[in-house]
Amino acid sequence: MSRHRGTGPSQRSLHPLAWWIWAAGMAVTAIKTTNPLLLAMIAAVVIFVVAARRTAAPWSRSLTFFLRLGLIVIAIRIVVEIVFNQRLPGHVLFVLPHLTLPHWAAGVYIGGPVALEAILEAFLDGLRLAVILVCFGAANSLASPYRLLRCLPAVLYEAGVAVTVALAFAPEIVITIASVREARRLRGRATRGLAGLRGMAIPVLEGALDRSLQLASSMDSRGYGRRDGTNRSTRRRATSATVIGLLAVVVGVYGVLAVGSLFGLGLPILAAGIALCALGLSVGGKRTTRTRYRPDPWRWPEWVVAASGLCALAGLAAAEALGSTSVQFSFYPLAVPGLPVLACVGILVALVPAIAAPAPPATVGPKALGEPATLEPSAVAKAVTFGAAGSRPTVVEGGR
């Protein structure tokens, strides 16, 4: 009889919130710049860390899905700019037949001259959004959605079903795509092209939503959201602190991300909002009692991973504060972008999780990661048939 070996300290799954903080820092860094070299560095760092520290779990393939989605976003942004161009001045590449619109549609143009500067601006906008999608896909590839849900504050249990479906939908849709594609391939049906997309779209969306709802139902059947009685004044103080904190977070995020706003004023407001939210969630969470099975530890690797993602944002903010003009791409006049040293150093520091994060467990399963078991795509094509009474079951592979 074989005995399961537990994973040691060097082989454990990093806390999911650490990966999300790291990915959020990289995504905000991408929002703050239009330099294509910096955006390419952010994408390369994220992809390298995912390749070094992802597990063999089905949701670890989410990054490929978001990479393809990013390419589609870039193509759509360029096409929209060509058709509905802003007629910006610059080097005209070609001229499209234009359509005259009525007076109430003033400011909207269809066709006309297309300038090189407009194409570059559309490409960089699409590239920035694609890099943000890659960062989001990295968080989905590295962090288990099941373990992430266990880290939610207790005060959010009332919205547990909605949060469960929202957070688990993206990983589940990747798992469902692989399962449906494997099943169609074994049945001899198309899996690529327009025919494959037409046959897979509805089953994939329906299957991913069903799996997310099943996860929410299983959590509800285990007492998810059970509350303890607290007085009304405590609930009001917790709710007020949470609402005011969320408003301060919104104002602080706008102050940090908006071009031309006071960056130095946005950070204190953001920090105060986070502190108020933490206070409100902590006080409000006392009314919910539960026991936690195998809680995820927060040790020095989690601190290092979270801080490395924030270092990229800090390096870019320092470069802007020192007046570096290479953070943003210059369209008028066109010039080859440079590389701000501080921003590059901050982005390269984000490579630290590839070394500091614990090595992923060699065996992925409920015992190793503390999450429900998931059928592999090859298991979809298997069926067990039973013969007469007393006969042994026969496992039949799909297609044979």
Residue 16 near residue 298, CB atoms below 8 Å: no
Query: Among the three residues 252, 287, 322, which one is the final residue of a domain in this structure?
Result: 287
- For residue 191, what pLDDT is reported? 76
Do 44 and 130 fall within a single domain?
A: yes
Residue 92 in any domain: the answer is yes
Residue 347 in any domain: the answer is yes
Do 274 and 300 fall within a single domain?
A: no
Residue 133 near residue 73, CB atoms below 8 Å: yes
Residue 106 in any domain: the answer is yes
Cβ within 8 Å of residue 352, ≥6 positions away? 304, 305, 308
The DSSP 8-state label assigned to residue 306 in this structure reads H
Q: Which two tokens stand for residue 179?
A: 């399962």
Residue 191 near residue 377, CB atoms below 8 Å: no
Q: What does the alpha-carbon distance between residue 107 and residue 86 come to, in Å, rounded to a whole number? A: 8
Residue 189 in any domain: the answer is no
Cis amide linkage into residue 333, ω under 30° from 0: yes
Do 126 and 238 fall within a single domain?
A: no
- For residue 387, what pLDDT is reported? 38
Query: Among the three residues 250, 265, 287, which one is the final residue of a domain in this structure?
Result: 287
For residue 115, list its beta bridge partners.
92
Sign of the dihedral defined by the CA atoms of residues 114, 118, 123, 129, in that order: negative
Do 273 and 304 fall within a single domain?
A: no
Longest Cα separation, the chain: 83
Q: Which two tokens stand for residue 274?
A: 């986070």
Query: Among the three residues 262, 287, 312, which one is the final residue of a domain in this structure?
Result: 287
Do 283 and 312 fall within a single domain?
A: no
Residue 281 in any domain: the answer is yes
Residue 179 in any domain: the answer is no
Q: Looking at the 3D structure of the chain, how many domains does it have?
A: 2
Q: Considering only CA atoms, which of 4, 140, 168 is closest in space to residue 61?
A: 140
- For residue 82, what pLDDT is reported? 86
Residue 140 in any domain: the answer is yes
Do 235 and 329 fall within a single domain?
A: no
Do 282 and 311 fall within a single domain?
A: no
Do 55 and 73 fall within a single domain?
A: yes
Q: Which two tokens stand for residue 224?
A: 């998810």
Q: What does the alpha-carbon distance between residue 81 and residue 114 come to, in Å, rounded to a whole number? A: 9
Residue 165 in any domain: the answer is no
Q: Helix crossing, 160-186 with 62-83: angle to 10°?
A: 90
| Residue with tokens 């006392």, as numbered in its chain | 286
Domain containing 28 equals 16-151+296-369
Q: What does the alpha-carbon distance between residue 54 and residue 60 come to, in Å, rounded to a whole number? A: 6
Residue 360 near residue 142, CB atoms below 8 Å: no
pTM over 0.85, yes/no: no
Q: What does the alpha-carbon distance between residue 242 and residue 273 come to, in Å, rounded to a whole number? A: 9
Do 26 and 118 fall within a single domain?
A: yes
User: Could you list the pLDDT tens digit for every one of the 400 residues in the chain?
Assistant: 444 444 444 467 788 888 989 999 999 899 888 899 999 999 999 999 998 888 777 677 778 888 999 999 999 999 988 888 777 777 888 888 877 777 777 777 787 888 888 889 899 999 999 999 999 889 888 887 667 766 666 556 555 556 656 666 666 677 778 788 888 888 887 777 777 777 777 787 777 777 767 766 776 676 655 555 566 777 677 778 878 888 888 888 777 666 555 556 677 887 888 888 878 777 766 655 566 667 777 888 889 999 999 999 889 888 888 888 888 888 887 788 888 889 999 999 999 999 988 877 654 443 444 444 443 433 333 333 333 333 443 333 333 3
Do 235 and 349 fall within a single domain?
A: no
Q: Are strands 92-99 and 110-115 parallel, antiparallel or unpaired?
A: antiparallel
Do 248 and 322 fall within a single domain?
A: no
Determine the 3-state secondary structure of 300 from DSSP: helix
Q: CA 61, 64, 69, 72: dihedral to nearest 10 degrees? A: -160
- For residue 292, what pLDDT is reported? 62
The DSSP 8-state label assigned to residue 222 in this structure reads T
Determine the 3-state secondary structure of 394 from DSSP: strand
Do 41 and 143 fall within a single domain?
A: yes
